[in-house]
Structure 1
Amino acid sequence: MSDANVRIPEEAKDRLAAIAAAEGLSLRAYLARLAETMLTPSERAERAEKARAALKDWNGYAPTAAEARDLDSELDRRLAEAAGQ
């Protein structure tokens, strides 16, 4: 396996190295493990679609795009209210 160089701010590298060291890993091993556990946008979309299909099969819930936007807006409003904004 070949290595790649990634340019990030020194502070970010130091933070990641500290997290890796606390878990007993090298920065290289930590980043490789992190990459294996993260989902790409297409993988997230696929999982979300499967979850929506399972929810619809389970209880018939299938909000329209407009209903989902309204629900998201309501959630945002409530979170902002709870945070005192």
Structure 2
Amino acid sequence: MSDANVRIPEEAKDRLAAIAAAEGLSLRAYLARLAETLLTPAERAERAEKARTALKKWNGYAPTAGQQRDLDSELDRRLAQVTDR
């Protein structure tokens, strides 16, 4: 496997290195493991579509785009209420 150089702020590198060390890993190993656990935007979209399909098959739930926007707005409103406390 070839290595790559990534430029990040020193503070970010120090923080990641401390997290890696606390888990008994080198920074290189920690970042490699982290990369394996994260999803790309395309992978997230694919999983979301599979979940919507399964939910529709299971109980018929299939909100329209407008309903989805309304639900998102309501969730945003509720999250704002909780974080304002």
Q: TM-score range by the shorter chain?
A: over 0.9
Partner AA of 1:44 in structure 2 = R
Where do 4+ consecutive residues of structure 1 move more than 3 Å? Answer: none
- Residue 49 (1) aligns with residue 35 (2): no
Alignment of 1:3-42 (within 5 A): 3-42=3-42
| 1-structure distance, mates of 2:82, 2:39 | 30
| 2-structure distance, mates of 1:58, 1:71 | 20
Partner AA of 1:28 in structure 2 = R
| 2-structure distance, mates of 1:82, 1:36 | 32
Cα-Cα RMSD: 1.0
Identity of aligned residues (%): 86
What whole-Å deviation, never above 9, does each CA across 1:14-45 have from its counterpart, x for those lacking one?
00000000000000000000001111110000
Deviation at 1:81, TM superposition (A): 1.6
| 2-structure distance, mates of 1:24, 1:55 | 40
| 2-structure distance, mates of 1:45, 1:10 | 33
| 2-structure distance, mates of 1:45, 1:19 | 29
Deviation at 1:84, TM superposition (A): 2.6
Deviation at 1:80, TM superposition (A): 1.2
Deviation at 1:78, TM superposition (A): 1.2
- Unaligned 5+ residue runs, structure 2? none
| 2-structure distance, mates of 1:11, 1:27 | 14
- Unaligned 5+ residue runs, structure 1? none
